[in-house]
Copies of this chain bind each other. A is one copy, B any other.
Amino acid sequence: MLSKNQYKFIKSLKSKKKRSEHAVFLVEGVKVVQEFLKSKYNLVSLYSTSDFDYPLDVEVKKISENELKGISSLITPNKLIGVFKMLKPDPIDFSNLVVALDRLNDPGNLGAIIRLCDWFGIKDLVCDISTVDCYNPKVVQAAMGSHTRVNITYTDLFKLLSCSKNVIGTFMDGSSIYQTKLPDSGILILGNESNGISKKIEDVVNLRIGVPRFGKLKQTESLNVANSAAIILSEFIRNSIEK
């Protein structure tokens, strides 16, 4: 059973403002919570609807199904919900490929991209400050624990890029990733779902790449940004292992 204040506090963490104010965020579901518990993220509190037999020395507060429903962001809440402290990001390692996001809007897309970075061993993900919050519960859900292995930094992307070499931008009309020599390091930018990379950032791009369209008609309007990220990261990785 939660006190009125506890309930109100946890529920408030659906809002970015409240998360930032307290520097904490929500993690939901048994599997994902377990990933965060094993990681360097620090637990604040843990709540479960069932007598959760967790091997670690962690106190689990019992809550009702109705309480879980109220504090959860999921349509079908999954037993366990934890409040964790945000992490201060590590310094970015520019000796490897870094992925950067320019004003990404959709939490599902950001979550999928964090998961892809993790899959492909990309250590650093940089988000322009106007990109959706990586601690948004939908992002945490979609990334399925990959936050614990990818270093996510929010910054003024334009400033960062202005003093960088090897700035790689993805564009509909960029040169084919299958026919371009892709570098082993650099900053790879993916743009907003509807508008792509902003003009200001486009101006500091050194290498314009893209996924060519096939088929007789070539009328597909665009690729979803997470699918596009999947294809492009795959090409970078394939190139680096074949060297």
Q: Number of A interface residues at 8 Å Cβ cutoff, please give it.
A: 37
Chain B neighbourhood of A121, CB < 8 A: 214-216
Is the C-beta of A241 less than 8 angstroms from some C-beta in chain B? yes
Contact of A149 among B31, B119, B215 (CB under 8 A): B215
Tell me the smallest distance from the CB of A162 to a CB of chain B, in Å. 29
Contact of A227 among B123, B149, B215, B226 (CB under 8 A): B226
Given contacts A120-B215, A215-B121, A238-B178, contact A146 B220 (CB under 8 A): yes
| Cβ–Cβ contact B119 & A214, under 8 A | yes
Task: Identify the closest chain B residue to A216 (Cβ).
Answer: B121
Is the C-beta of A65 less than 8 angstroms from some C-beta in chain B? no
Task: Identify the closest chain B residue to A143 (Cβ).
Answer: B220
- The 5 closest A-B CB pairs, nearest first, are A121-B215, A121-B214, A227-B230, A230-B230, A231-B234
